[in-house]
């Protein structure tokens, strides 16, 4: 059964660890993430961007696949199915399709409009029992066509949004999606500290988990981050393992072209990346 992310994130915030959100693209991704979470007894959040939702033919397909897989694989750890960087319409669609959690990314709107739209969604999510993530200060880089400039959020605006009754808050603190450039200035821990002081128990979300050095991840968790999003890193691991398989000519040996063989090294590589992150975030064993 899918659950809202509320309980797992409140526990994570109180216990000073973070739950990973790993974005999914297809069956292999989903299977790899669910099996690793179960093996490590870790709660997990499956992230679906609007683009990935379209790729998988729509949100209903995603809900059907995830629910079916959890039942067939006997997944007992808490799993939230979460819309990543949703627009207002996308959020409504995911509520209807049966997601257990949504993110409304209103960071590109003026703050008043972000507040107004987030308020509407708080009401809907409360009624239906979904968790809701809101965002202040856009995350840099590009993800599925959503481009952010990498702002550092205004802590007072964060407080205004946190007070609306959302479940978790994503705040830009210099983090960006995708690989970090050589001249990246690092995370703004001063801003994070200020945000956490103003928002209290609110679980904070760190986007752009790919490529953030381990010590920064640990420091962010110590300052109230309870959810960390990882997408690109699984894509890179998958692509790397798949390339190695093909470059070694394995697809041309025997039945090596069979997709169940061809996609296996990539799937195993995603598992290894997810395991590494769950260990780093401290969520291993927290679902026991």
Binding site for ligand 13P (CB under 6 A): 23, 47, 84-85, 143, 177-178, 207-210, 229-233
Residue of 84, 105, 240, 251 marked active site: 84
When the beta carbons of 228 and 245 are compared against ligand 13P, the nearer one is 228
CB of 44 to ligand 13P, least distance (A): 14
**Residues 6 or more apart in contact with residue 181 via CB below 8 angstroms:** none
When the beta carbons of 114 and 210 are compared against ligand 13P, the nearer one is 210
CB of 261 to ligand 13P, least distance (A): 28
Known catalytic membership, residue 215:
no
CB of 284 to ligand 13P, least distance (A): 19
CB of 179 to ligand 13P, least distance (A): 8
When the beta carbons of 47 and 155 are compared against ligand 13P, the nearer one is 47
C-alpha to C-alpha distance for 46 and 121, rounded to whole angstroms: 20
- In order of 14, 102, 145, 150, 208, the CA distances from 3 in angstroms are 19, 12, 28, 31, 24
When the beta carbons of 172 and 209 are compared against ligand 13P, the nearer one is 209
| Residues assigned a catalytic role | 84
């Amino acid at each position: 059964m899918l659950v809202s992310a509320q309980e797992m994130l409140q526990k994570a915030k109180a216990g000073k660890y973070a739950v990973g959100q790993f974005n999914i693209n297809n069956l292999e991704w989903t299977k790899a993430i669910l099996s690793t979470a179960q093996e490590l007894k870790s709660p997990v959040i499956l992230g679906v961007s609007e683009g990935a939702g379209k790729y998988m033919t729509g949100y209903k397909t995603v809900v059907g696949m995830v629910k079916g897989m959890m039942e067939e694989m006997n997944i007992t750890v808490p799993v939230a199915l979460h819309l990543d960087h949703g627009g207002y319409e996308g959020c409504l669609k995911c509520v209807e399709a049966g997601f257990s959690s949504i993110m409304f990314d209103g960071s590109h709107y003026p703050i008043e409009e972000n507040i107004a739209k987030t308020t509407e969604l708080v009401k809907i999510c409360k009624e239906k029992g979904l968790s809701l993530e809101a965002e202040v200060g856009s995350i840099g880089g590009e993800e599925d066509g959503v481009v952010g400039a990498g702002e550092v959020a205004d802590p007072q605006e964060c407080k205004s949004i946190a007070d609306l009754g959302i479940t978790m808050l994503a705040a830009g603190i210099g983090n960006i999606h995708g690989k970090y450039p050589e001249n990246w200035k690092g995370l703004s821990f001063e801003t994070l500290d200020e945000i956490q002081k103003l928002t209290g128990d609110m679980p904070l979300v760190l986007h752009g988990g790919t490529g953030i050095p381990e010590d920064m991840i640990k420091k962010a968790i110590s300052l109230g981050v309870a959810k960390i999003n990882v997408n690109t890193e699984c894509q890179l691991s998958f692509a790397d393992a798949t390339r190695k398989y093909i470059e070694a000519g394995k697809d041309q040996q025997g039945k090596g072209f069979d997709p169940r063989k061809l996609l296996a090294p990539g799937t195993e590589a995603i598992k290894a990346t997810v395991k590494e992150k769950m260990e780093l975030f401290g969520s291993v064993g927290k679902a026991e």
